[in-house]
Amino acid sequence: MNIYEKPLELLSHDEWEQLCDGCALCCMHKFEDEDTGELLLTTVACRLLDTSTCRCRQYEDRMESVPSCLQIRHFTKDQYRWLPETCAYRLRFESKPLLPWHPLLSGDKESVHEAFISLRDQCVSEIEVDEDDIPSFIIDDDL
């Protein structure tokens, strides 16, 4: 069975890491609409994200620097909705197949960027934005 066909609970640590497509959408600030419960995505990235590569600069130690960093492997079933509908973790949680541009299917780590799924070079670091201004960076894309 291929990694991308396995249920999440059967993945080894290395397989889990390979399932990430590198879109970095999980690294963007999000808000929940108090009235509707809708999750709203911004283009403001965690300070550890390299916005030109969509990779964490301190991945192994990220929880020490950013305690609020999402630990997807420890999500409850209700938390998967915090991930975009295109996310491999969410798709596999929902027993859905990966999308054709996913690097495990395409064989190319650039395919997520070429498919315009990631926010590479389209986001700003939280270091560059006043915290009160983050809501002005909300984008229309649904999670």
pLDDT score recorded for residue 134: 96
pLDDT of residue 129: 97
Amino acid at site 44 = V
For residues 62 and 69, is the Cβ–Cβ distance under 8 A? yes
Question: Residues 137, 61, 5, CA angle at the centre, nearest 5°?
Answer: 80
**pTM given for the model:** 0.88
| pLDDT tens digits in sequence order for the chain, 143 residues long | 899 899 999 999 999 999 999 999 999 999 988 899 888 999 999 999 999 999 999 999 999 999 989 899 999 988 998 899 999 999 999 999 999 999 999 999 999 999 999 999 999 999 999 999 999 999 976 55
- Whether residue 107 contacts residue 21, with contact meaning beta carbons closer than 8 Å, is answered with no
Cβ of 125: how many Cβ atoms within 10 Å? 14
Q: What is the C-alpha R_g of the chain?
A: 15
